[in-house]
Structure 1
Amino acid sequence: MKHPIIEMKNVNFTYERQRVLEDINITIEQGSFLGLVGPNGSGKTTLLKCLLGLLKPQQGEIKLFGQPIQKFKNWHEIGFVSQKANSFNTGFPASVYEVVSSGLTSKIGLFKFMSQQDRQNVIQAIDAVGLSKFSKRNIGELSGGQQQRAFIARAIVSNPKLLILDEPTVGVDSQTVQNFYEMLVHLNRDLGITLILVTHDVGTITDKVSHVACINKHLHFHGHAKEFNILKEEEMSDFYGHSLHVLTHDHSH
């Protein structure tokens, strides 16, 4: 039986008197791949910050791995990749291997020596994101898409059970984006990592994710990707508050 990894019940968040999240009820089960979609300013990032314990909702409860978030200690079980480490200083003199290794700091402590197993984990994480031949390359020499893969490897090196990605493909070209999503499917299906992907790319992800949640202050939709695909365009426009053309990409040809 699958266990819920995340449970949010009646979660409300108000920011400077403005209600950003209202009555959010959502359960995410182990092994699922959730696409979290919604217009700009809809509360997606606020939701993530609540899940990561960075913001505290005024009402409602959040459980992670069956524990109330206030008591949750095993943060190494959750990996997080922001909107590119766009803020990352690409002139920083570190190899891909070193950047990925830095993902073990919270687990083994700063300035501690890595064990043989730690080194093996770094190599496996780099391999999982398809960067094996770049492991000695300086991070600044990689393309935007490759850098993002390196940051994902850093996030998965401590073997998290849940990986949260906040619009990781911003500024990455469309061909690279396709390969990037294929890699996420591999992490989900083959490595068993539960994924939450925040994205604007509604059409491209619906054949990759298992579930979709559509948020715009309220949770307007949460269900299987197949159900999301058959929503009428008018319903989607209601969710988003403006007209929306959902482009689904059929890769079966």
Structure 2
Amino acid sequence: MNNNSNEPIVQAKNLSFKYAKDLVLENITLDVPKGAFLAIVGPNGSGKSTLLKLFLGLNKLQKGSITLFGESIQSFKDWQKVGFVSQKANSFNTGFPATVFEVVESGLTKKIGLFKFVTKEHKQKVKKALEAVDMLNFQHRSIGELSGGQQQRVFIARSLVSEPVLMILDEPTVGVDSKNVHQFYEMLEMMNKQLGITLILVTHDVSTVSDKVTHVACLNKNLHFHGDAHEYNQLTEEELSEVYGHDIKLLSHNHE
């Protein structure tokens, strides 16, 4: 394994992917540096979730290559370095009989084994993860009693508890009340800047998050833009409309 500290955490080269005859991704080349906060944006059906599934090894490579931490994804085994948060809160079973603490603790299963004893140190890790997402005061509450935004914070804590180096989030604000979305992204920014976690975020909230992220990738089957957030914020509405295939004002892009 290559341990060069300058090596991108994720590196995709010439990626193409199709479902049956439907080409979803075409010739994607993308680097995610260590410490980056990358937002992947694009219209529905643009291939964003497919790209994440390739990064997570859930979709099998068809054409091109992916390396994680300098190692080919086909041989990569150290998955505890990678956290994943999906759109769970939007469809979570509110009758699920578990406390917030228990849900987060379940994120340690890979690290300690399914039937191993949970130590005092493990419990401290759970509390630390809950503290990071401002949910420690809810540790004894049932997960089903929480709002969508609170549940999603708990799922992030569940991913955080195994101390990942990279966290991948697929539209995590889908179940979050609009007034809490800004706070949610501030939490992600803190995780990136203070905890040093590299983040890859698929989002539709491009105007809300553009001042929090370090890099932006605009995806619509092809990669139409990939650069730092400052460059992205200088793009005109006409340039962005070419990427999205419709009037970009629908996304309330922030040019400030």
Q: TM-score, normalised by structure 2?
A: 0.95
Alignment CA distance shift 1:249-1:98 (3 Å): farther
SS in 2 for 1:212: strand
Q: 1:35 aligns to what?
A: 39
The residue identity in structure 1 corresponding to 2:147 is: S
Q: Does 1:89 pair with 2:88?
A: no
Q: 1:69 aligns to what?
A: 73
Q: 2:15 aligns to what?
A: 11
* 1:176-191 alignment runs, 5 A limit: 176-191=180-195
Structure 2 unmatched ranges of 5 or more: none
Deviation at 1:88, TM superposition (A): 2.6
Correspondent of 2:26 among 22, 39, 45: 22
Q: 2:253 aligns to what?
A: 247
* 1:138-153 alignment runs, 5 A limit: 138-153=142-157
Q: Does the CA-based 8 Å contact 1:96-1:134 persist in structure 2? A: yes
Deviation at 1:16, TM superposition (A): 0.9
- Deviation track 1:86-131 (CA, whole Å, cap 9, x = no partner) reads 3332211111000000001111111211122211111100000000
Q: Does 1:156 pair with 2:155?
A: no
- Deviation track 1:172-202 (CA, whole Å, cap 9, x = no partner) reads 2222101100000010000000001100011
Deviation at 1:77, TM superposition (A): 0.5
Alpha-carbon distance between aligned partners in 2 of 1:247 and 1:214, rounded to the nearest angstrom: 13
- Deviation track 1:12-42 (CA, whole Å, cap 9, x = no partner) reads 1011111100000000011000011000000
The residue identity in structure 2 corresponding to 1:27 is: D
Alpha-carbon distance between aligned partners in 1 of 2:172 and 2:110, rounded to the nearest angstrom: 22
Q: 1:53 aligns to what?
A: 57
Q: Does 1:123 pair with 2:127?
A: yes
Alignment CA distance shift 1:249-1:151 (3 Å): farther
Alpha-carbon distance between aligned partners in 2 of 1:16 and 1:175, rounded to the nearest angstrom: 40
Deviation at 1:249, TM superposition (A): 8.1
Alpha-carbon distance between aligned partners in 2 of 1:206 and 1:213, rounded to the nearest angstrom: 11
RMSD: 1.2
Q: 1:215 aligns to what?
A: 219
Q: Does 1:102 pair with 2:106?
A: yes
Alpha-carbon distance between aligned partners in 2 of 1:53 and 1:104, rounded to the nearest angstrom: 20
Alpha-carbon distance between aligned partners in 1 of 2:52 and 2:169, rounded to the nearest angstrom: 9
Alpha-carbon distance between aligned partners in 2 of 1:2 and 1:244, rounded to the nearest angstrom: 35
Q: Does 1:205 pair with 2:209?
A: yes
Q: Does 1:168 pair with 2:172?
A: yes
Structure 1 unmatched ranges of 5 or more: none
- Deviation track 1:110-159 (CA, whole Å, cap 9, x = no partner) reads 12111222111111000000001101111111111100000000011000
The residue identity in structure 1 corresponding to 2:125 is: N
Q: TM-score, normalised by structure 1?
A: 0.96
Q: Does the CA-based 8 Å contact 1:84-1:169 persist in structure 2? A: no
Report the identity percentage: 62
Q: Does 1:196 pair with 2:200?
A: yes
